[in-house]
Structure 1
Amino acid sequence: MASTELPPQEERPIGFGRMLRKEDPRFIRGRGRYVDDIQLPGMLHGAILRSPLAHARIASIDTAAAMAHPKVHAVITGKDLEAQGLAWMPTLSADVCAVLATDKVRFQGQEVAFVVADDRYSARDALELIDVEYEPLPVLVDAKKALDPDAPIIRDEIEGRTDNHIFDWESGDAAACDEVFARADVVVAQDMLYPRVHPAPMETCGCVADYDRVEGRLTLWETSQAPHAHRTLFALVAGLPEERIRVVSPDIGGGFGNKVGIYPGYVCATVASIVTGKPVKWMEDRTENLVSTSFARDYHMRGEIAATKDGKILGIRTRVLADHGAFNTTAQPTKYPAGFFHIFTGSYDIEAAHCKVTGVYTNKAGGGVAYACSFRVTEAVYLVERMVDVLAAELGMDPAELRMKNLLKPEQFPYENKTGWVYDSGDYPTALRMALDMVGYDELRREQAEKRRAHAERGSGDGAAGGGAGGELMGIGVAFFTETVGAGPRKHMDIVGLGMSDGAELRIHPTGKAQLGISCQTQGQGHETTFAQIVAEELGIPPEDVEVVHGDTDRTPFGLGTYGSRSTPVSGAATAVVARKVRERARIVAAAMLEASADDLEWEKGRFFVKGDPSRGATIQEIAMGAHGTVELPEGIEPGLDAETVYDPPNLTFPFGAYVCVVDVDPGTGVVKVRRFVAVDDCGTRINPMIIEGQIHGGLTDGVGMALMQLISFDEEGNCLGGSFMDYLVPTALEVPEWETGHTVTPSPHHPIGAKGIGESATVGSPPAVVNAVIDALEPYGVRHADMPLTPARVWAAMQGRAEPPA
């Protein structure tokens, strides 16, 4: 594992490099400020009554007993909101979602009523006093049956709706694929499921709404990854003037996509504050978060690869059925309802590709959230990397050799893939070779061969009896991924009509200290450190002297927020651009101070000096004081060094990586142990290696969890079976190895500092590496594929030739 030791303070460069996170002191001292820490005078508390049924008509709602509770101030139902035109709200996918159910409930846990009381406990108690009469309806939880003629219609409130179809989306060239597949020597196909999982952040969702009746102003503290987008949507939903809405996102205990959208609790708390004239707080408990907030994945995929007999991949095609639950709450760009699934072509030089994705409604909580992935890239990479391993098995080729044979070469960049997107830069073979060398791939294959011989000599019966000393099955999984992050550009991407660009505002104080306002929102990524380092790199101001402001719509420029790993690719670029604007203003001020022409000044980090005379110069701090002082500036030049910008990226950025996972599987129990994991990543220019390593470690842990244990499932009545951390398992330090990381650096040619982003790469690349390793371990049993999560029961069932574990 890469060292996390820091160089001595005096040796640390001003700018990029390893430095401790500026935000950590307040967290480790318990001084973080989360939404649940907000306490306002006279504040009331809200609680939500949720449906116990997955699909039912609402015959009646009796709130009289709840209203009679001595500590209850209000009970709000869907009919109350309907009278104000607030019963339905737009989602980030331009669908509409019920705030509180009016006609019927469409998933277990859907919001039915909102109680406002003196305290959280009284509000919860009052929920028990609301009497709702339900008329059960047939339940649909199997996406494969969603389009059957006799399937129950989930969204029958939509006029003319006769089925559960949401969208069809295609990418690539179907005819070209047909031609390639017709002449291929080998065609392999595989059905697979990327199961429904949940972001499960440490902090659940919540808000505090405070409506000032005198000023007509709403202040909303939210667990939001996109404060500015929320402000605009609240203005559209509530009819309040946008300039009278302030959204504040304080410290956030993890987001992972779960906190991108607007939840009914936010709207209900706002309405309650307007009705009561007092601040209202609403916070979920863990079960509410797991059962009712946005899920991710749930993609049923069939992949096909065409190749020559010597392993040259010619084409890939896929058909996908996407289960989006009862409401399409995904935050995908408008033109791409299936997100960036266009990356299903992977990292390989192929002739043709085509995919079709169909989205459907089911009786589950709204899905489609971009959970720690860049808009469906995780599913796409999983598909292609599993298919490459299936092809390798069919051809009898080593999976690493097959990948090396087909990877794009450095001289092919910029490379336009077969769905029309241009990969910016990369050296894929070098990254794969590094990963194989780090893990000692050839030696591992020799060890595996010896263990398989020993296993065969003992006989599969003896091994299955308990897998004693040396009896484990050893598997080696390889995965290579190209990610696509940094949404916009605006010409291609918007969410509900809002272009995906980001702003930055940089203010230099007279003393040379700086304040940077950014429109992205941090949830643990270290923005207060890395963005200060970008300013430091451009201006020579120590990072400690740069305050980074985020999460407050009154203090920051407009932007679309943080998700899809767009912080550094978009807001980071905006920061570099605005810092360069300040530097050019500083050049003019320095010229006036030094009585020289601006064209005669040279820049070194932190100061301008006169060409040929380094002794005649001025530091950025001296220039800042001069800009605010009495220095006579050229006509038309305003005092100060402030600047602002809006960055519209010309293209996405494309980080990539090569991962190798080594597992041991107990043949008697099916228990999988991840023995080693090597991750080589390329995120372009590296700002703070320590933060990069932390992001990678978290993403790898997340990926192991998805591959081996995480699953949101439902019974036939639509009951969610993952409503607590007793049922929905997340990985701990006991389930993961000590990560081994490496890196290559190929800067993005169009990004101002060459950065590509790293926040989600490990989550994209690790699940296929783990699954490939487990399937490789089960090769002696003839297993070609098994769906995630590869729990002991699923692994054992696969070894017995069963598609699913026994009931």
Structure 2
Amino acid sequence: MSAEIGSTTAAATTPRGYGPMRRKEDARFLRGKGRYLDDIRLPGMLHAAILRSPYAHARIVSIDTTAAEAHPKVRAVITGETLAGLGLAWMPTLSHDVQAVLATDKVRFQGQEVAFVVAEDRYAARDALALIDVEYEPLTPVVDARRALDPDAPVIRDDLTGRTDNHIFDWEAGDAAATDEVFARADVVSSCDMVYPRTHPAPMETCGSIASMDPVTGKLTVYTTTQAPHAHRTVYALVAGLPEHKIQIISPDIGGGFGNKVGIYPGYVCAVVGSIITGAPVKWVEDRSENLMSTSFARDYHMHGEIAATKDGRILGVRVTVLADHGAFNGTAQPSKLPAGLFHVFTGSYDLQAAHCTVTGVYTNKAPGGVAYACSFRITEAVYLIERLVTVLATDQGWDPAELRMNNLIRAEQFPYTTPTGWEYDSGDYPKTLGLALQLADYAQLRREQAARRAAYERGEADELMGIGLSFFTEAVGAGPRKHMDILGLGMADGAELRVHPTGKAVLRLSCKSQGQGHETTFAQIVAEELGISPDDIEVVQGDTDQTPFGLGTYGSRSTPVSGAAAAVVARKVRERARIVAATMLEVSPADLEWSKGRFHVTGDPSASTSMTEIAMAAHSDLELPEGVEGHLDATCVYNPPNLTYPCGAYVCVVDVDPGTGQVKVRRFVAVDDCGVRINPMVVQGQVHGGLADGIGMALMEVMAFDTDGNHLGASFMDYLLPTAVECPSWELGETVTPSPHHPIGAKGVGESATVGSPPAVVNAVLDAIGVRHADMPLTPAQVWRAMQGRSLRTDLAIG
């Protein structure tokens, strides 16, 4: 539930005619009629399982598959040696690294793929794994990014020519000299070391693939849980050497992705090889432990930040050093030219004079990845860094954190605003957004309540401490334009195709792929707004490379900023074609027609008009159109965004903390988001609700932990905890609306905003409650209790 409050514009709920609409796709989902990967059964289909390494770092001495191959139901056992003979032992990652499909020389993380079994059923495939005898020579693992840089640290990627250390890259942004000068003349400087721990997207549905090679036509059909079907098709063509037009990728309904399903995993490639070898379709679906242990993680940043200010609270600059743990293979899903992703926005939403950041990436003996998990390529880490630094500065100087933020936010008249790292924020009214959040939360009253409760606690009349945490964030979403952003050389532009049939019904084909965001509804509403036909009469086709135009898929909150823009542009192309048809029907010049939703009418004579349905029929009839004008109502476009879009938000979190146990309860959460024009407020609310819950999970319970031997300690939901409705309050939502000036409909995107802004708000609230300057996430009861050791908030409280 959410409180619908805080609209700051008269038409904020339904701008441009958009408005609440129940999701079209929910009818099948709520009835259990969705079609997920594991629902698909192909004739003669075989099943596969993967043998994974129990070691984080070990040399492979030998692999004996004899017993497994003798199993009566086993059809094939594939090893790295098998793949090497086919030229498929290694595959490219999304960061231009290479990753072993199946380990050959050694294993580099616990859970790495060693062998692939294809059998008549999934149980036989799993049973056969135990029959494979692998002899390992254990090696010393490196699970600490700081240890990875030691000169005597074991070299993880010794497969790479000339590799003598675990260093991957160095990256910097901003002006080091200007930043040093700002810090030299600052009155006050605060610093903080913090870790954004490794977390996992943990989608409801795990990853899987069904590969079917037709030996007659040579066509490969792959059903797979991917957020980027067209990118997968291109990579399969590059890896397997198959003609791209002979590859069809079908991504059916997906039970959540969150970045986890962007890249290609070894199981996908092995399923293809298995189908080629056996001549039958091969299905591989991982279990939950495999998903948590071996698929793409997120975060894992060690950050040192410094913030400089004047004595009256004017923030001058930020200086940051980051150590990024990329696991055993550099498979981060982010633009090729940006090895540290969009960490450029570490300057946040503040008007700074200078900033500088350096990021060093390293290999460790952990699963590879670094996905765009519910954030646009490292923005979550960047926002967490700056919002913690601002709060630490306020704490050190005794300033109110809300007032400090308000006095340093970028002002509305400064947009478009170029940050010290060179990124151009498109629009916003940050003070209004923060002001609304403070108003809805009644911030002044909260501080009075906190003071009263603290006094009661010190008198022994209360058992809990109350904390108030704030965050303000700017997101950078809609990955593009392609001249700046690509993955494996594929530019981040999206295609759209729209066809209006003679009866006025329409089909929109898009290159993006939904994992639950409501694309079938939202994009139908965009076309409906542009053409004036009902969203119910518009079918949205996605997730099939044979049926949709090329594009880079859905991640980084690029659905509406990029594909949504493509949908609007292609609909306007169709509308202009309809104008010519209507002019012929009404026997006037196209320039003499005016458009009102769903109809063209003659200027000055609204009675002389024709509807889009009538135009569609006429466009397919024997109507004599002007010379050179084709009939029918269809169009295509490729949308290459001129810039990212920059949604923002202000969050206020209120927590209660039991000092005796360290237990944290999130009592209230006020979230004000500005995502530009809102197409469907109901979908926006759902996205924000999910992101806020996600943020609570990361702040209070989620962490991918490893012991010193590299053993993964979070391979089940008994150990890797996720938030439930019990841990979440009743969200209080508000909105401001500043349209993006360069987006065709002014939309900015919102899918990942709440996940970006909520973790620092929760952490700031907990630390505000317990009076501790800093403690790293996740703030579990044990972590909170440890943070409070040695601090006495009342004289009779002793925590040892």
Taking structure 1 as the reference length, the TM-score comes to: 0.96
2:453 matched to which residue of 1?
451
2:796 matched to which residue of 1?
none
Q: What is the alpha-carbon distance in structure 1 between the residues aligned to residue 661 and residue 111 of structure 2?
A: 35
1:516 to 508, 520, 527: 508
2:774 to 769, 785, 788: 785
CA contact (8 A) 1:188 1:305 kept: yes
2:194 matched to which residue of 1?
192
Question: 1:253-652 counterparts in 2 under 5 A?
Answer: 253-458=255-460, 470-652=462-644
CA contact (8 A) 2:15 2:677 kept: no
- Match of 2:459, SS state, is helix
**Shift of residue 453, structure 1, vs aligned partner:** 1.8
- Match of 1:740, SS state, is strand
Report the AA paired with residue 286 of structure 1: R
2:786 to 792, 797, 806: 797
1:684 matched to which residue of 2?
676
**Shift of residue 454, structure 1, vs aligned partner:** 2.2
1:155 matched to which residue of 2?
157
CA contact (8 A) 1:212 1:218 kept: yes
**Shift of residue 14, structure 1, vs aligned partner:** 10
1:693 to 676, 685, 690: 685
Please list every run of 5 or more consecutive structure 2 residues that lacks an aligned counterpart in the other structure.
6-12, 792-798
1:744 to 736, 758, 774: 736
Q: What is the alpha-carbon distance in structure 1 between the residues aligned to residue 99 and residue 503 of structure 2?
A: 50
CA deviations on 1:35-57 (whole Å, 9 max, x unpaired) are 11110010000000000000000
Question: 1:35-50 counterparts in 2 under 5 A?
Answer: 35-50=37-52
1:728 matched to which residue of 2?
720
Report the AA paired with residue 159 of structure 1: T
Q: What is the alpha-carbon distance in structure 2 between the residues aligned to residue 801 and residue 110 of structure 1?
A: 43
1:7 matched to which residue of 2?
none
1:122 matched to which residue of 2?
124
Q: What is the alpha-carbon distance in structure 1 between the residues aligned to residue 406 and residue 479 of structure 2?
A: 29
Q: What is the alpha-carbon distance in structure 1 between the residues aligned to residue 579 and residue 213 of structure 2?
A: 46
CA deviations on 1:628-686 (whole Å, 9 max, x unpaired) are 01111011111101000000000000000000000000010000000000000000000
- The answer to whether the aligner puts 1:58 opposite 2:50 as a matched pair is no
Q: What is the alpha-carbon distance in structure 2 between the residues aligned to residue 15 and residue 26 of structure 1?
A: 27
CA contact (8 A) 1:72 1:116 kept: yes
Question: 1:158-173 counterparts in 2 under 5 A?
Answer: 158-173=160-175
Q: What is the alpha-carbon distance in structure 2 between the residues aligned to residue 3 and residue 275 of structure 1?
A: 57
CA deviations on 1:440-459 (whole Å, 9 max, x unpaired) are 1101100111122222333x
Q: What is the alpha-carbon distance in structure 2 between the residues aligned to residue 795 and residue 394 of structure 1?
A: 20
Q: What is the alpha-carbon distance in structure 1 between the residues aligned to residue 17 and residue 185 of structure 2?
A: 54
Report the AA paired with residue 682 of structure 1: D
CA contact (8 A) 1:15 1:540 kept: no
Larger mean Cα displacement after TM superposition, 229-238 or 444-453: 444-453
**Shift of residue 595, structure 1, vs aligned partner:** 0.8
**Shift of residue 368, structure 1, vs aligned partner:** 1.1
CA deviations on 1:608-645 (whole Å, 9 max, x unpaired) are 01111111111001000000011110111111010000
1:464 matched to which residue of 2?
none
1:759 to 751, 775, 784: 751
CA 1:631–1:14 in structure 2 vs 1: closer, same or farther (change >3 Å)? Answer: farther
CA deviations on 1:138-163 (whole Å, 9 max, x unpaired) are 11000001111110000000010000
CA deviations on 1:366-419 (whole Å, 9 max, x unpaired) are 031111101000000000000000000111100000000100110000000000
CA contact (8 A) 1:206 1:284 kept: yes
Q: What is the alpha-carbon distance in structure 2 between the residues aligned to residue 491 and residue 258 of structure 1?
A: 25
Report the AA paired with residue 38 of structure 1: I
Please list every run of 5 or more consecutive structure 1 residues that lacks an aligned counterpart in the other structure.
5-10, 459-468
CA contact (8 A) 1:66 1:129 kept: yes
Q: What is the alpha-carbon distance in structure 2 between the residues aligned to residue 255 and residue 133 of structure 1?
A: 35
1:461 matched to which residue of 2?
none
- Match of 1:447, SS state, is helix
- Match of 1:678, SS state, is strand
1:463 matched to which residue of 2?
none
Q: What is the alpha-carbon distance in structure 2 between the residues aligned to residue 566 and residue 13 of structure 1?
A: 20
Q: What is the alpha-carbon distance in structure 1 between the residues aligned to residue 558 and residue 421 of structure 2?
A: 21
Q: What is the alpha-carbon distance in structure 2 between the residues aligned to residue 29 and residue 61 of structure 1?
A: 47
**Shift of residue 3, structure 1, vs aligned partner:** 5.0
CA contact (8 A) 2:427 2:739 kept: yes
Q: What is the alpha-carbon distance in structure 2 between the residues aligned to residue 330 and residue 2 of structure 1?
A: 38
CA contact (8 A) 1:58 1:133 kept: yes
Task: Calculate the aligned-residue CA RMSD, in Å.
Answer: 1.3
Q: What is the alpha-carbon distance in structure 2 between the residues aligned to residue 725 and residue 555 of structure 1?
A: 37
CA contact (8 A) 1:14 1:541 kept: no
**Shift of residue 34, structure 1, vs aligned partner:** 0.5
CA deviations on 1:707-762 (whole Å, 9 max, x unpaired) are 00001000000000000000000000000100000000000000000000000000
Report the AA paired with residue 424 of structure 1: D
1:30 to 29, 32, 35: 32
**Shift of residue 2, structure 1, vs aligned partner:** 3.7
Q: What is the alpha-carbon distance in structure 2 between the residues aligned to residue 768 and residue 695 of structure 1?
A: 18
CA 1:537–1:590 in structure 2 vs 1: closer, same or farther (change >3 Å)? Answer: same
CA 1:378–1:14 in structure 2 vs 1: closer, same or farther (change >3 Å)? Answer: closer
Q: What is the alpha-carbon distance in structure 2 between the residues aligned to residue 511 and residue 142 of structure 1?
A: 63
CA contact (8 A) 1:15 1:536 kept: no
CA deviations on 1:201-226 (whole Å, 9 max, x unpaired) are 00000010000011000000000000
Q: What is the alpha-carbon distance in structure 1 between the residues aligned to residue 401 and residue 14 of structure 2?
A: 42
CA contact (8 A) 1:51 1:105 kept: yes
CA contact (8 A) 2:15 2:678 kept: no
**Shift of residue 299, structure 1, vs aligned partner:** 0.2
Q: What is the alpha-carbon distance in structure 2 between the residues aligned to residue 164 and residue 376 of structure 1?
A: 21
Q: Which runs of 4+ in 1 moved over 3 A?
A: 11-15
Q: What is the alpha-carbon distance in structure 2 between the residues aligned to residue 515 and residue 641 of structure 1?
A: 11
CA contact (8 A) 1:14 1:542 kept: no
Q: What is the alpha-carbon distance in structure 1 between the residues aligned to residue 30 and residue 237 of structure 2?
A: 37
**Shift of residue 801, structure 1, vs aligned partner:** 4.4
**Shift of residue 58, structure 1, vs aligned partner:** 0.4
CA deviations on 1:309-332 (whole Å, 9 max, x unpaired) are 111000001000000000111111
- The answer to whether the aligner puts 1:69 opposite 2:61 as a matched pair is no
Report the AA paired with residue 448 of structure 1: Q
Report the AA paired with residue 799 of structure 1: M
**Shift of residue 573, structure 1, vs aligned partner:** 0.3
Report the AA paired with residue 159 of structure 2: E
CA deviations on 1:296-353 (whole Å, 9 max, x unpaired) are 0000000000000111000001000000000111111011111100000000001000
- Match of 2:173, SS state, is strand
Q: What is the alpha-carbon distance in structure 2 between the residues aligned to residue 800 and residue 331 of structure 1?
A: 40
CA contact (8 A) 1:323 1:367 kept: no
1:8 matched to which residue of 2?
none
- The answer to whether the aligner puts 1:233 opposite 2:225 as a matched pair is no
State the identity as a percent: 75
Q: What is the alpha-carbon distance in structure 1 between the residues aligned to residue 570 and residue 355 of structure 2?
A: 40
- Match of 2:248, SS state, is strand
CA deviations on 1:232-263 (whole Å, 9 max, x unpaired) are 00000000000000000000000000000000
